[in-house]
A and B are shown apart, each in its own frame.
Chain A
Amino acid sequence: MKHRTEIRDYHAPIWNEPVIMEMGSDGRRGLIFRKTDQKIFDELGDAKKLLPKGMFREEKPGLPELSEHEVQRHYLHLSQETLGMMGISLFGTCTMKYNPRLNEIVAGRSEVAETHPLQHEETLQGTLNIIHNFDLILRELSGMDNFVFQAGGGAHAAYTHCCLARSYHASKGDLEQRNEIITSIQAHPCNPATAASAGFNIITLPLGENGYPTLDALKAAVSDRTAGLLINNPDDMGIYNPNIKEWVKIVHDAGGLCFYDHANFNGVMGKIRARDLGFDACMYMLHKTFGVPKGGGGPAVGAYGCTSELAEFLPSPVVTKSEKSFNLDYDRPNSIGRIREFWGNVPQVIKAYSWARAMGANGIQEAAEISVLANNYMESRILKIRGITKSHPNISGYRMEMTRYSIEKVTADTGITVEDLSNRMVDFGIDAPWLAHHPWLVPQPFTPEAGECYSKEDIDYWIDVVEEIISEAYENPEIVKSAPHRQPIGKINAALLEDPDHWAMTWRAYIRKKSLKKKD
């Protein structure tokens, strides 16, 4: 079969856009506020006079001065200097999706954008209704009894769970003793990190031969100190742990709680339920699986659901439904309180609800099937490319919605690394793929995830580009090594980013360090 399509002659826009701190000219204005009403001014007078002594800011903030149009064009240029899924992005673990524009339009309307979370609940019945309906949808998908949306991302939902676990064990009087959380080296770093931030000690299980930790390793780890288990399944290599029910039982028998990090839900949506597997709680990322935009790293939502046994500890408020209305329940004495102000990224919950309604049960199951099919299709092609292998090649059979690959052999043969590959891929208008979380268990890894939103032609093109780059690596490695060539800027000097004499997280710091260097 001939796969190769013509490689596009892509080039990113280059604006040589200056940093805004250097733009504009004295006295220009981008936004003007009305002058204080004369009557008010006459009664109150200057701000300087009003403020406590010594609290008035005498000098003007050192901000640039630009006209409205200049600001608009500057940031439009910056958006154009961002590849941002304009081509194809198969960024594994993040489940890249089309974000329906309708949802942006609806969430941008005043019924959502111009509402305050402390308005009387009578005036927010529409929003509360949608949140409740979406809670019901997630209950059906997971088997859990109650969902909340305060968590501003997946990691934050893991943190929420750890806070619940503290309160749960404290209520039983054994928090002091139960201070250990068990996880796997293949779990997202946020699992051990949030558990540690919540005060727990961490036990990390290594992987066994089958690609997941062994039952024996888990049995050796549990004890009367076990507070719980935080685990994902399938993992980022597309491997599903078939012993997960036994895992849950072992942890429960030891007195711990089991949290299902459902970051990799896309391949199993409508196929399995966290509750059926015995879990006490789970988390879905609405900005990944449920079609909500990622915003380059949020605003995001980690929808957190748990069984009725844990519900009393959920953060407040919880949206409830009475006969006549939807309500916010703040009166929950055993709640962990707040993990973030208010009740979550409401527009994102509305977008997720809209996505779920557009998909329906059939669409959701179809998406899971297409994403697993597309991944295995990719695998069949990618493994034919010279020098590319997959993780745990000993494990035969189909992977779930992701496969982790390695170009270790290519690196040994040509010196080309996955970073080089990433830098070269963007020259073809394709977003660099996800590599792997640290520590790298597989050398020179990359992890694409096809999902359901890209066509077979897109997927083929993506693979064609990888194939093209690998043949470049063998025939003309310099072009890969020196990439990118068709992006707004060249390869950055990463060493300076870690050097206190050079790093500059603000323009002020940059100017200060530059002038110090001049003096040297």
Chain B
Amino acid sequence: MIPIVETRSLSKTYRSDFGRKSVQALQDLSLSVYQGEIFALLGLNGAGKSTLMKILLDLVRPTSGEVRVFGETLKSYHWRRKVGYLPELFAVPRFMTALNVLRYLGELSGIKGNALSVRIDEMIVRVGLSEAANRQVHTFSKGMVLRLGVAQALLHQPQILFLDEPTEGLDPLGRKMVRTLLIDLANSGVTILLNSHLLSEVELVAHRVGILHKGRLRAQGKLSELLPQNQHFEVEVAENPSLEGPWTFLQVRSGWTSEVQGSEQLQQLLAALKSRSVPVLAVKPVRTTLEDVFFNYISGDGDAEDNSDQADYP
């Protein structure tokens, strides 16, 4: 499968003070994003996520490395007709109305006349700004501005969407709207590259994730590949069973609990408890979240090199 977005050994160094100070924003980053997938880039602030997106849009020039979008290098700009972009902290001049913004950006995307008016009406309804379409943007709430940002990104029916923190500043309802929209778009074949540090949101929508830390891609792959295969369980009993073996029971308010790794160990523990006639109050799966995985990688505990090259999509 040919990737829609591909970077090879991409590096970016920002220089200031006439080259005396430099910040390495990206280092040797190789990444592929395929059609119809939602690829989420995770990272702390300053990890290089926004820089990568800006390089992909040719807003920022890489120091070294190669970038291809739709198989083309970034020398021409016509491929941007197929790209939608929502920047982090999307903002527009205060005096513009939502309609002005969409008309301006729509025309720049090559849509004109009646087709543009119809498309603007559709997007205004889709993001729930019908009542505010003619209002100047300075009267908008933060969430409304972001919804306008989503509308402008989708206006020209792009084939790939670059979304930089698309749910930042949205209330739970707004977040759900964006989530549903992303899933619908991906289902209709739109490729989405998503930057976020809201890990729980990402876990709900992303097909694959990349973990970026200090400009380096520490891991990338499907969620199922990054999350540990061995499931943890918590077993709760009414009294301390004093078992011999690898199990340690800790006293909690309702009784005693122990954690075991994998279903094999769980079966062994349950058999041991049964042989001692210790009543089992509950067996709960302990879920490893993306957040756990993320912190594991950025704290340097995870084996980044082992994962970064594996799990090519699909």
A binds B: no
